[in-house]
Amino acid sequence: MFRTTTVGSLPKPDWLAEPEKLWPTWRLEGQALQDGKERAALEWLREQEAAGIDVVGDGEQFRIHFVHGFLEQLEGIDWNRKTRMGIRNNRYEADVPTVTGPLARPKAIHAADAAYMRAQTTRRLKVTLPGPMTICDTLADGYYGRREDMAMRFAELLNAEAKELVAAGADVIQFDE
C-alpha cells in the first residue's frame, strides 16, 4: 500500500499573512499570532484528514517562509547585512542575509509546533525542513569560506532539529532540497 501525503507549503489564510508574496509579513502579533497559526494549521489538518491523506502536516502555517522560518532562530546570521547574490542556480539575483559567525541553534525551533500537531491527530505526522543546500542557496557566506563547510554545519543543525521533532511526535521528516 502507498501512503498519501502532501508536499510543500499550503496557502496561508489572508487574515494570517500577506497572500502570494515571496517574503510576506504576518498580519497578527503576540498571542493572537500564535493562536492564528494554530487555527490555520488545524484547518489544514482537518482538510487533509477529510481528504483521506495518510501522513498529515501543518502546511507550514507556523512559519512565514519555508526556509527562513528555521533560520530566524539560529545564531550567526546577520539579517541586516544583505549581500546581493544569484540564487536558485543563478536564475535571479536577490539581497540575502549573511552568515557572519559560527552557526548555532540555541534551542529547538519547531518542536512545540510538532507537539501541538501531534496532539490534534492520530494520523502519521510529517514535518518539513529545508535541506542544507537549499539553505545555502538563500544565504551569503561571510564566515565559513567554503559553501560545503557551511552546508555541513547546517546539516548538523538540521539533524539535531529532526531528532527533537521526532521526540515531539513527528513520524516523518521531509527535507526539501
Residue 43: CATH number of its domain: 3.20.20.210
- Which pTM does this prediction carry? 0.93
- Cα separation, 161 vs 115, in Å, equals 13
For residue 45, being part of any structural domain is answered with yes
Q: What is the DSSP letter of 125?
A: E
Amino acid 118: pLDDT: 99
Amino acid 88: pLDDT: 78
For residue 3, being part of any structural domain is answered with no
For residue 111, being part of any structural domain is answered with yes
List the domain range (segments joined by +) for residue 83.
30-176
For residue 122, being part of any structural domain is answered with yes
Radius of gyration of the chain (CA): 17
For residue 151, being part of any structural domain is answered with yes
* Local confidence pLDDT in tens for the 177 residues of the chain: 899 999 878 999 999 999 888 778 999 999 999 999 999 999 999 999 999 999 999 999 999 988 989 999 999 999 999 999 988 788 889 899 999 999 999 999 999 999 999 999 999 999 999 999 999 999 999 999 999 999 999 999 999 999 999 999 999 999 999
Amino acid 132: pLDDT: 97
Amino acid 87: pLDDT: 84
For residue 146, being part of any structural domain is answered with yes
CA distances to 6, 58, 67, 100 from 53, in Å: 8, 13, 24, 42
Amino acid 8: pLDDT: 75
For residue 21, being part of any structural domain is answered with no
Amino acid 89: pLDDT: 80
For residue 13, being part of any structural domain is answered with no
Total number of domains constituting the chain: 1
Amino acid 144: pLDDT: 98
- Cα separation, 94 vs 137, in Å, equals 11
